[in-house]
Amino acid sequence: MSEARKARLGVLLSGRGSNFIAIADAISNGSLTGCEIAVVLSNIADAPGLSAAQQRGLATEVHVSKGVPRAEHDAKMIAALNSHEIDLVILAGYMRVLSPEFIRAFPNRILNIHPSLLPSFPGLHAQQQALDYGAKVAGCTVHFVDEAVDHGVIILQRVVPVEDTDDEAVLSARILEQEHQAYPEAIARVLSGKYATRERRFLKR
């Protein structure tokens, strides 16, 4: 009997790739099932996450974005994802805003993780924003990507305390630990088929 087809993930990253590694580890240790990483794409040639992917024997592609118009660059990324027959696009520290064309190419099939409890503190330096605001809790959000930045339907959130002695690095590390658990779990929920989106709510069917 043939095994059920695995969902094919396309990971996009620009930096260290610790979320990508957490997802890859969850797949290899069997805690995230029913999917495989089909390709890791980066817009930055020397992104450490890319070497981590190569070391794991995964397919990688670089499409440098610097100096390339957004529509042109996104067209290359879309073509690469399609050529690998991707089911789900996983943004893991991909430091580019996606064009509407990109988002429409994969409707409700792009996930992102953001290091704040959205809708608080979208955008860059979310952890520092939480500290500056005086928030007493912080956390991370895995969400579907829509055409507004850090705005799509929330799949899952994890909360951490903000301690009086925290600086950006300490708070970021506490949140990152939760990110590494939240992202594989969110992917599992999306792939399970047991959840559906109603209005803005991602709920058990």
Binding site for ligand GRF (CB under 6 A): 13, 15-19, 49, 92-93, 113-115, 140, 176, 179
- State both tokens at 100: 């509407």
The residue assigned the tokens 């690469």 is 80
Closest to ligand GRF by CB, 18 or 43: 18
Q: Do 45 and 64 touch, CB atoms closer than 8 A? A: yes
Name 38's Cβ contacts closer than 8 Å, sequence gap at least 6. Answer: 8, 9, 10, 59, 84, 85, 86
Q: What is the nearest approach in angstroms of ligand GRF to the Cβ of residue 9?
A: 14
Task: Tokens for 183, please give them.
Answer: 């992202």
CB of 43 to ligand GRF, least distance (A): 13
* Cα-based angle 104, 91, 74 (whole degrees, multiple of 5): 45
63 noted as active-site residue: no
Least distance from ligand GRF to the Cβ atom of residue 127, Å: 8
Written as one string, the DSSP assignment of 150-197 is: T-SPEEEEEEEEPPTT--HHHHHHHHHHHHHHHHHHHHHHHHHS-EEE
The minimum distance between CB 88 and ligand GRF, in angstroms, equals 17
Identify which of residues 78 and 118 has a Cβ nearer to ligand GRF in the complex: 118
Work out the end-to-end distance of the chain between its first and last CA atoms, rounded to an integer number of angstroms: 30
For helices 168-192 and 18-28, the axis angle rounded to 10 degrees is 40
Backbone angles phi, psi at 174, to 5 degrees: -65, -40
Catalytic residue among 63, 73, 84, 114: 114
Which amino acids are annotated catalytic? 114
